[in-house]
């Protein structure tokens, strides 16, 4: 999230030499100069820290894959608990889909999913989450960066009931690159296998499927948006 800083300038008082008085010894800074130097050092340190943070965490099309390649090394966590306004459920992420797994855990740890919604519900098909029509979510995306993930559809996973998968980006996208901030869960029994080969399954619901089913049964409008907002209150990585 971009922050605007209001920096209060420090006004320096000009030294006035009074005729007949000795000039003060300037080898030791006076109190005003010391405060000024401390303030400037603090501002410089904060600016450098903020720049370093942006350089290491803001993702784009060039650095996202190298970033997640390093991030997934030694990543042992593979479960995330999502608490919603309708209850909680837990997903288990597949180890052999490393970039999508790492992306989901990274976003959860960045608290991206907190306060987003299940913004699309298709009865007897899917629920889709990770977006919201508010400024807070847009600011979070802007702070994390703009990037897509390549599909990873040949790892033997299918779109069974309870499968966690990643939708394609809405931008011009002939290669079906995945939108990293959103996800959907299949509720069809036994599954929605026509999605295989087009979207990337990267996990499954292992606890709380009844909550997923309840979300899938809420009343929706003509745009498949729930009539009553369903928020993700917290996404917690289970270490």
- 8-12, 105-109, 113-117, 142-146, range with the lowest pLDDT: 8-12
Q: Answer for the pair 231, 116: CB distance below 8 angstroms, yes or no.
A: yes
**pLDDT of amino acid 26:** 40
Query: What are the φ/ψ torsions at residue 52 (nearest 5 degrees)?
Result: -60, -40
pLDDT tens-digit series, residues 65-114: 999 999 999 899 999 999 999 999 999 999 999 999 999 999 999 999 99
Query: What is the secondary structure of 140-177 as a DSSP string?
Result: HHHHHB---B-----SS---BTTEEEEPBPSSS-TT--
Dihedral over Cα of 102, 106, 109, 112: its sign:
negative
> What's the pLDDT at 18?
37
Residue 177: name the closest of 199, 161, 202, 194 by CA: 199
In whole angstroms, what is the distance from residue 187 CA to residue 239 CA? Answer: 27
Please tell me the pTM assigned to this model.
0.75
Structural domains in the chain plus CATH codes: 67-238 (2.40.100.10)
């Amino acid at each position: 999230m971009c922050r605007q800083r209001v920096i209060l300038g420090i006004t320096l008082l000009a030294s006035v030499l009074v005729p007949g008085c000795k000039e003060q010894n300037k080898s030791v800074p006076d109190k005003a100069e010391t405060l000024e130097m401390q303030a400037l050092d603090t501002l410089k340190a904060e600016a450098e820290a903020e720049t370093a943070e942006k350089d290491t965490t803001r993702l784009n099309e060039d650095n996202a894959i190298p970033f997640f390649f390093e991030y997934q090394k030694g990543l042992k966590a593979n479960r995330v608990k999502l608490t919603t306004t309708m209850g909680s459920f837990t997903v288990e992420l597949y180890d052999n889909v490393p970039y999508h797994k790492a992306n989901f855990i990274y976003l959860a740890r960045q608290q991206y999913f907190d306060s987003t919604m299940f913004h699309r519900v298709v009865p007897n098909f899917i629920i889709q989450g990770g977006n919201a029509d508010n400024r807070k979510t847009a600011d979070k995306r802007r702070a994390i960066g703009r990037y897509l993930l390549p599909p990873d559809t040949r790892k033997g996973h299918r779109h069974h009931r309870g499968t966690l998968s990643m939708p394609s980006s809405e931008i011009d996208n002939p290669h079906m690159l995945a939108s990293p901030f959103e996800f959907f869960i299949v509720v069809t029994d036994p599954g929605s296998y026509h999605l295989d080969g087009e979207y990337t399954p990267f996990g499954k619901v292992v606890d709380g499927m009844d909550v997923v089913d309840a979300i899938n049964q809420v009343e929706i409008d003509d745009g498949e948006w729930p009539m009553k907002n369903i928020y993700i209150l917290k996404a917690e990585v289970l270490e």
